[in-house]
Homo-oligomer: A and B are copies of this chain.
């Protein structure tokens, strides 16, 4: 019988192999992983499909086996506030799974994505029984709260150019380049994406990027955005914070 649409046939070895790539589950012995696999429902989401909708009351946690998703909130006026992207190996929807309240953001698949869906009870059981996984979740949540605290601070105290510099610095550091003298962001985030990350408008980001290019901090070609001097960008961001 053909599998139901969206519910691919994932056999036990494939499920185990998929879950082995999930950061949260690192170090879990095979029998534990097999139990998680048993508790999961696997589902394939198409690019642009909505996985979680803000304000919904479902509470499952999703493990990203393959693909990429974006966590956003859309304003009634159509403005997109972007929170984070989740790649293969990451988890999404963990907040509602843990505190039982309605979804505070929407999650949209950026690419076709295979997700393993875990009930809040199964997640709680996993955390209760395996301390290393629980500790990783505690750190992840603390890190999420820390990143959001920083973002509130930036939104409250920095102008658009300063926020753009801070965001480019984060992207540059995350790119983990061999040398700080030429950090390539490829594919370059679009101006709309940057705007959604720093709560600005596309036109404003375009203007500010042109200014940063004029100052020799970034250069742009084709599909790449190059941070010409990451240390100088870091100094600039630091100077604003200490000003």
Contact = CB atoms under 8 A, between A and B. Distances in A.
Interface of A: 73, 75-77, 79, 81, 83, 94-96, 98-99, 101, 104-105, 124, 127-128, 131, 134-135, 137-139, 141-146, 148-153, 155-157, 199, 240-243
B148 A98 contact: no
B141 A138 contact: yes
Contacts of A242: 76
Copies in the complex: 2
Contacts of A146: 95, 99, 101, 104
Contacts of A128: 131, 134-135
Nearest to A95: B142
A199 B153 CA distance: 9
Q: Which of A76, A124, A240, A243 has the most CB of B within 10 A?
A: A76
A238 to B, nearest CB: 11
A73 B243 contact: no
A156 B144 CA distance: 18
Contact of A137 (B138, B156, B240): B138
Contacts of A155: 152, 155-156, 199
Q: Which of A81, A135, A139, A156 has the most CB of B within 10 A?
A: A156
